[in-house]
Structure 1
Amino acid sequence: MKLRELALISSGINERRNPQGTIYYIGASDFVAPSLLNKLIKPSIMPSEKLEKHFLTKQDVIVLGKGHNGFVGHTIVDDSKPMVASSSFMVLRDFHVKVLPKYIAWYINLESTQQELRSYSRGTALPSINRTILGDLEIKIPPLKIQKQIIEIDELKKQESKLTTQLDQLKTIQLELLLKNKIKNYEQ
């Protein structure tokens, strides 16, 4: 099915930042990993009635529409803070009952899907896609049980990658300490 048949697609908004703001304005650089917002971001736009309909809710998927690093999809997993997506993103919400938002984000983030989106992108200086291009994306929809399994496997793979990185960092520290100790012993 085409993505536009599976979810409502809207654009993020363009707002002026304000240090006294109380609303979080999510930009591309605010993610440290897919679906993982930087914990240090601060609210940066002022509240207004027009913003309320743009507040991100749990299970919304935001897709980066511009950039050289691909058109990454992020699932909103925490809506405890009032957040809106910047105009760099497209927002997917109101998903069809036979599809899980995290599955859609996973599917969008597949390298084969990213290649397809890049082939349809416009612009050479800054590749971009629009709602039409994203909406025309053909998504294969397995049964919900299979979607859940795919999401679980993907989460385990991400967890493994994180642990592997941490282990590598610890090994580097351990080696550094060992070698420094060897130098210290040599100097004596």
Structure 2
Amino acid sequence: MENDAVKLSPLGDVVAVRPGYPFRGAIKEAPRGEMAVVQIKNADAERGVDWQALANTEPTGRKQPDWLQGGDVLFIARGNRNVAVYLNQVPGRAVCAPQFYLLRVKDDRVLPAYLAWYLNEFPAQRYFEQSAEGSVVTSIRRQVLESLPLPIPDLQRQQLIVNLVDTARREKQLTEQLIRNREQQLTLVARGLIQ
């Protein structure tokens, strides 16, 4: 019989953790800027990144931008929502703001979508809550993130989890659309009663 034990590995052993692009001061919007910037307001753990809403800007400083790519995971390190966002694909040249850590899987035993899912689940979220620093605006230090114990099931199991997550998201979207449709129908019925 196969051993179904799941191996635990510190996140930093399987993922390269990089800080977001170091803008000097506020991010200044430049409509014809050469890069788009993912900010916290553009990222949601369930819906992903709202690529249409990104601000364009110009690079500041000398650091070469770490361009986002498909398979990356963005982790919101500052604020009250320390969640991960999986980037299935990136439509253009974009970077993430300094409030994020850019996570790139460097171990082929881990699927990036699985990593993002696990970072948003209870065991990891509890770890972040207990490890957050700051009183008004909390943050997760890089060392804390890299020390997170990451369970690594086999790739088949990871893919099964990712498929379940995708199915649950689609079901939720369809349910929300059905609710909106029903509300519109009831509004039309109510308007018809008045006329």
Structure 1 and Structure 2 fold alike (TM over 0.5): yes
Q: How does 1:27-66 map to 2 (within 5 A)?
A: 27-34=39-46, 36-47=48-59, 50-52=63-65, 54-66=66-78
| Letter paired with 1:104 | L
Task: State the number of aligned residues.
Answer: 182
Distance 2:51 2:147 in 1: 34
State the percentage of identical aligned residues: 24
Deviation, structure 1 residue 34: 3.5
Task: Report the equivalent of 1:67.
Answer: 79
SS in structure 2 opposite 1:155?
A: helix
Counterpart of 1:122 in structure 2 is 133
The CA distance in 1 between the partners of 2:19 and 2:117, in whole Å, is 20
Task: Please list the CA deviations of residues 54-77 of structure 1 after superposition, one character each: whole Å capped at 9, or x if unmatched.
Answer: 111110111000112x21111112
* Alignment gaps of 5+ in structure 1: none
Q: 1:147 to 1:86 in 2, by over 3 A?
A: same
Give the 3 Å change call, closer, same or farther, for CA 127–43 of structure 1 in structure 2: closer
Aligned residue number for residue 138 of structure 1:
149
Name the counterpart of 2:158: 147
Could you say which residue in structure 2 is the equivalent of 1:3? 11
User: Unaligned 5+ residue runs, structure 2?
Assistant: 1-8
Q: Would you say the 8 A contact 1:65–1:130 is kept in 2?
A: yes
- Superposed CA offset, 1:85-107 (max 9, x none): 11000011142110111100000
In 1, Cα distance between equivalents of 2:41 and 2:55: 14
> Which amino acid in the other structure matches residue 86 of structure 1?
A
User: 2: distance between equivalents of 1:116 and 1:61?
Assistant: 18
| Contact 2:132/2:139, CA 8 A, preserved across alignment | yes
**C-alpha separation in 2, matches of 1:50 and 1:56:** 15
Q: What is the SS of the residue equivalent to 1:170?
A: helix
**Displacement, 1:108?**
0.2
The structure with the greater share of residues assigned to strand is 2
Shift of residue 18, structure 1, vs aligned partner: 3.5
Partner in structure 1 of residue 172 of structure 2? 161
**Larger proportion of helix:** 1
Q: Are the aligned partners of 1:118 and 1:127 in contact in 2 as well (CA < 8 Å)?
A: no
Which residue identity is paired with 1:85?
A: C
1:92-107 equivalences under 5 Å are 92-107=103-118
